[in-house]
Amino acid sequence: MSLKTYLLARVLLAIPMVLILLTVVFVVLRIIPGDPVLTLLGGKAPIEVIEAKRHELGLDKPILIQYIDYLGNLLKGDLGKSLLTERPVLEELGDRLPATIELTIFGFIIALVIGIFWGAEAARRHDSVFDVSARVYSIFIYSVPVFWLGMVLQLIFGVWLRVLPVAGRIPPLMEPKHITGLYILDALFTANWESLKEAFRHLLLPGVTLGLIISSVFLRMVRGNMILTLSQDYTRAARARGIKEKSVVYRHALKNAMVPIMTVMGLQLALLFAGAVLTETTFSWPGIGTYLVQKIRYRDFMAVQGAIVIYAVMVVTISIIVDIINAWIDPRIRY
Amino acid sequence: MNRERAVCSLKSLKVYYMTFDGPVKAVDDVSFDIHREETLGLVGESGCGKSTLGSAILKILPRTARIYGKIFLDDTDITALDEREMQKIRGARISMIFQDPMTSLNPIMKVKDHFIETIRTHRPEISEEEALEMAARALAEVGISESRLNDYPFQFSGGMRQRMMIALAIVLRPSLIIADEPTTSLDVIVQAQILELMKEIQGHVRSAMILITHDLGVVAEMTNRIGVMYAGHLVELAPRDSIYYDPLHPYTKALLESVPNTRIEDKELKYIDGFPPSLLNVGEGCRFADRCPKARKVCFEKTPKDLVLEDGRLVKCWLYESEGQVEE
Amino acid sequence: MDTKFMSQRIGKAFRKFFRSGSGKMAFVGAVILVIFVISAVLAPHISPYDPTKRVGRAFTPPNSKHWFGTDNLGRDMFSRVLHGARIALLIALLAVVIASAIGIPLGLLSGYIGGPLDRVLTLVMDAIYSFPGLILAIAVAAVLGTGIVNIAISIAVVYAPTYFRVIRNQVASIKSELYVEAARALGANNWTILIKYVLPNVLPSVVVVLSMNLADAIMTEAGLSFLGLGIAPPTPDWGYDLSNGQRFILMNDWWMIMFPGLAIIILVLGFSLFSEGMNEYLNPNVGQQE
């Protein structure tokens, strides 16, 4: 099977997964006791108003029809309108998505660098100081709530040292021209160095917070899997052929370890998104996470549903990407 | 005896694994020379130190291992070399063929990348195209078509993979090849083919070969000289026929008697009583003494010296004390 | 040494346990957990002040009267942290009980019966499992509203698939083991096999998962209440106290966030040390090779 056929098969396989996730979202938000309209309007609203609102949202229809409507609208890319702002939810989310992506990617890169280099060294020098400190670090970081780490960094760099901003994405009016929506990239493309510097300064604390938190999982995975691949015959055989140590560790052992790492990582991305919601809230980062939390406070259930659907779509997309990368690394998967 | 200068010679080589409870003396005081175009068989039960010895020559032992004594490759003592200089030797001047070809190739690297990586690590001046040509020639030597360079290891059978390992081992024309149980994990027919191939290859590569195996049948077919190892000691080293028809060391005798022999039909198979000793903190004395029918008091008290007999054979046993000279 | 007596054998097992690094890890974790459980149970008796009432000046830094300082409403932070352990442990335990009550039976059935039921359940559980846990919990919590039981349910929804997966996979592999086949051949019925053969075999891994999940549940609870979806104030709750404290970070009132945070870290550390240590001790084959 070629990479292309594999890709196609993988995307087709994702369809039931998306369907199930969307159904789970629907079930959670509609079937669990509790009435979104009641909570939106409060218990004291007159019954006619409530009924009217229910009708407007289609909540008076049988649940199965609601479900079909819901899926049909999603298929058309319609996430409904925010009950609060009356703007299409998709549009509002579109404004917020780049911020979340920027933060997540930055955090991911930090975690990746820490995880891979420290993890590989720890595995190579099993039971050395490197290794023991890696284990202590990963078990400790795993126990730290991401928002607490964020606050401590805010306290240190924002309050005590006063070197970094503690909230927001960029000072008002300094946004670079919109191209991708990722400020760092947009500022680079437009050679807007002032904006670049500010965007980076704002990204630093939330990015490091998120990155450190997820690095513990990465580190653990890389270490564990590399201990395994480093003890395999092919690494010994590569050493016996005089391949340089760096090549043995990174080209042979790490690359082979990447397949199980990526697979678990795909699942762990859930952690990344969850961490991102809390990090965004801690740093008032204007992404999907803060949007979700805000809309829950205002009981804007259409918006909440939309945000969760977007998360579901991102999860599935990432799992597809992970599988494709795996197939690219390991030929045994695609044949 | 071969008077030509040895390709590789070990001078009282010791390999100890350091543990919390003390050293495990996996290889103890082993000396021998090996010459060009010669195949030396190393036989012994599992755990006798023969594989450790093979890895020690390449210095690819676990970190807990310590090497004492000297290993000369041509004129250099490679025990004194650092890791970087060792890397230049591995795969270029000494190469190794491993037991399990199924797991000894990197599963996610194409065949050609194994070759290119090996060749260009040692000879960076060679271009990728030239390296590919070299790979194709080496594959042809082992009977694999050039067209398979673009395949992955998992697309080959076990026998084919061992052929590839051999091609990889000879592509840079090493002066010494160490084959560690190269046929053990293969089925019988493939075993015979691989052995045949190795013989043929060695014939035109003209390198020396150390063949490590527990299979007396394999060494009988393949080797010129045979070294018998027991519990970390090289107990006997002699030309093949001497070992088979006139073994000296009691262990060699016992070992030969425990192997089914097709020529002498009704001879009863014997087994050796007892177990090899633990090599942890093992002290003075012949290590076979406990199981030896001819053991005397001195056998338990002092380790026998390597004795060289008149015909050049080496034996490590008190029984021959009067016949041989202590080797220096 | 001849081990004639049970007490000797237990003693020997203990010595072996403490000689291993993982055993020590589990022990340290267990000590932390015991301390937290005791202080949670005894909180009403040992805490110096009522955690919900103004007992001093607002924004007092830590001093001899208020070890952890006071918050913006003049409440004693030490008493709040102490009482917070009650809520955290209570919700985490409740959540794990609910999650295992859903996940374990479904996993047993799914793994044991197999067939289409198994495939559907696995697909659904995998989908939930792959979804960001906290976000799912947020969604459920948003619908259910605040309250101890509601929060516990929101967290349980996230972790039920974990139990399901562990149990299902183990059952599926144990089912085909020889001794189970033998029992079946001897006429044991399905229930007997499930209860007598399969369940005891999967329990050890359940204990490890349980302990790990308690750690995660405490984190999730703290996250939910940090986002304002947890227990309604003024009930002392670490996550809530952290979000409350964050408002005053710029005034350098560090103690309001430091102590509840450390409480979470130490408790979660206790659970992960314990589960990690036990896991390594029970399955020592991982990462042991040179």
In the prediction, which pLDDT does C15 show? 66
In the prediction, which pLDDT does C283 show? 64
Instruction: Tell the CATH topology of A89-334.
Output: MetI-like fold (1.10.3720)
* B1 pLDDT higher than 50: no
Residue B288 or A55, more confident: B288
* A259 pLDDT higher than 90: no
B216, B321: one domain:
yes
Domain boundaries along the sequence of chain A: 3-75, 89-334
Give C21's contacts (C-beta < 8 A, 6+ positions apart).
none
Give the integer Cα–Cα distance in Å for B16 and B2.
Answer: 31
| pLDDT > 70: percent of chain C | 90
* A39 pLDDT higher than 70: no
Residue B15 or C9, more confident: B15
The sign one gets for the Cα dihedral A124, A129, A135, A138 is negative
Q: Do B165 and A242 touch (CB under 8 A)?
A: no
* Assigned domain for C184 exists: yes
* Assigned domain for B88 exists: yes
Could you tell me which chain B residue has the CA closest to the CA of C289?
Answer: B62
Residue where a domain terminates, one of B140, B173, B206 = B173
Å between C20 CA and nearest CA of chain B? 14
* Assigned domain for C34 exists: yes
Nearest to A273 by CA among A318, A306, A304: A318
Cβ density class B153-188: b for 16+ within 10 Å, e for less: beebeebbbbbbbbbbbbbbebbbbbbbbbbebbee
* B2 pLDDT higher than 60: no
* A281 pLDDT higher than 90: yes
- CB contacts, 8 Å: A154 with chain C: 249
B122, B209: one domain:
no
Which band of pLDDT confidence, cut at 50, 70 and 90, is reported for residue A55? confident
Alpha-helix runs per DSSP H in A143-192 = 146-153, 183-189
DSSP for A225-264 reads HHHHHHTSHHHHHHHHTT--HHIIIIIIIIHHHHHHHHHH
What is the overall mean pLDDT for chain B? 88
Q: Do A20 and C227 touch (CB under 8 A)?
A: no
- CB contacts, 8 Å: C138 with chain A: 277, 292-293, 296
> What's the predicted TM-score (pTM) here?
0.81
Q: Is residue C169 a contact partner of residue C79, using CB atoms and an 8 Å limit? A: no
B34, B161: one domain:
no
Q: Do C142 and A304 touch (CB under 8 A)?
A: yes
B54, B137: one domain:
no
B167, B210: one domain:
no
When mean pLDDT is compared across A235-244, C17-26, C248-257, the lowest value belongs to C17-26
B206, B62: one domain:
yes
pLDDT tens-place string over residues B141-200: 999 999 999 999 989 988 899 999 999 999 999 999 999 998 888 888 888 899 999 989
Give the integer Cα–Cα distance in Å for A252 and B204.
Answer: 32
Nearest to B210 by CA among B5, B65, B7: B7
Give B269's contacts (C-beta < 8 A, 6+ positions apart).
B257, B258, B259, B260
B84, B200: one domain:
yes
Q: What is the ipTM of this complex?
A: 0.85
Q: Do B152 and A255 touch (CB under 8 A)?
A: no
What phi, psi does B43 have (nearest 5°)?
-120, 160
Could you tell me which chain A residue has the CA closest to the CA of B170?
Answer: A241
Give the integer Cα–Cα distance in Å for A222 and A265.
Answer: 10
Alpha-helix runs per DSSP H in chain C = 6-19, 21-46, 77-113, 115-130, 133-144, 148-175, 178-185, 190-192, 199-226, 238-246, 255-282
- Amino acid making up residue C237: D
Asked if the C-beta of B62 comes within 8 angstroms of chain C's C-beta atoms, the answer is yes
* Assigned domain for C54 exists: no
**Residue range of the domain that includes B253:** 6-93+174-326
What phi, psi does C274 have (nearest 5°)?
-60, -50
Asked if the C-beta of C2 comes within 8 angstroms of chain B's C-beta atoms, the answer is no
Rounded-to-10 torsion of CA C215, A112, A311, A34? 10
Sheet holding B22-34, edge to edge: B22-34, B8-19, B65-73, B76-77
Cis peptide before C204 (omega within 30 of 0): no
Q: Do A243 and B117 touch (CB under 8 A)?
A: yes
In the prediction, which pLDDT does B238 show? 93
**A70: enclosing H helix or E strand:** helix A63-75
Sheet holding B94-97, edge to edge: B94-97, B176-180, B208-213, B39-43, B225-230, B233-239, B314-315, B307-308, B325-326
**Residue range of the domain that includes C31:** 22-46+69-284
Q: Do A148 and C265 touch (CB under 8 A)?
A: yes
Return the DSSP state at A88: B
B168, B178: one domain:
no
Q: Is residue C49 a contact partner of residue C76, using CB atoms and an 8 Å limit? A: yes
Asked if the C-beta of B123 comes within 8 angstroms of chain A's C-beta atoms, the answer is no
Asked if the C-beta of A252 comes within 8 angstroms of chain B's C-beta atoms, the answer is yes
Rounded-to-10 torsion of CA B196, B198, B200, B206? -160
Q: Do B106 and A329 touch (CB under 8 A)?
A: no
* Assigned domain for B1 exists: no
Which band of pLDDT confidence, cut at 50, 70 and 90, is reported for residue A34? low
Residue where a domain terminates, one of B139, B173, B207 = B173
* B32 pLDDT higher than 70: yes
CATH number at residue C277: 1.10.3720.10
Q: Do A28 and C140 touch (CB under 8 A)?
A: yes
Residue where a domain terminates, one of B153, B173, B193 = B173
- CB contacts, 8 Å: C290 with chain B: 62-64
Give the integer Cα–Cα distance in Å for C3 and C195.
Answer: 32
Tokens coding C233: 């104030």
Nearest to C111 by CA among C174, C187, C162, C204: C174
B281, B160: one domain:
no
Å between B18 CA and nearest CA of chain C? 13
C-proximal residues of A, 147-176, CB under 8 Å: 147-148, 151-152, 154-155, 158-160, 166
Q: How many domains does chain B have?
A: 2
* Assigned domain for C222 exists: yes
CB atoms within 10 A of CB C1: 5
Cα–Cα–Cα angle for B143, B149, B152, nearest 5°?
110
pLDDT tens-place string over residues B254-288: 888 887 665 555 556 677 777 888 888 788 889 99
* Assigned domain for C202 exists: yes
Å between A253 CA and nearest CA of chain B? 9
B292, B154: one domain:
no
B-proximal residues of C, 231-290, CB under 8 Å: 290
Q: Do A155 and C286 touch (CB under 8 A)?
A: no
Q: Which of A20, A153, A160 to mutate to test the interface with C (most CBs of C within 10 A)?
A: A20
Q: How many domains does chain C have?
A: 1
Could you tell me which chain B residue has the CA closest to the CA of A329?
Answer: B108
In the prediction, which pLDDT does B68 show? 93
CATH number at residue B30: 3.40.50.300
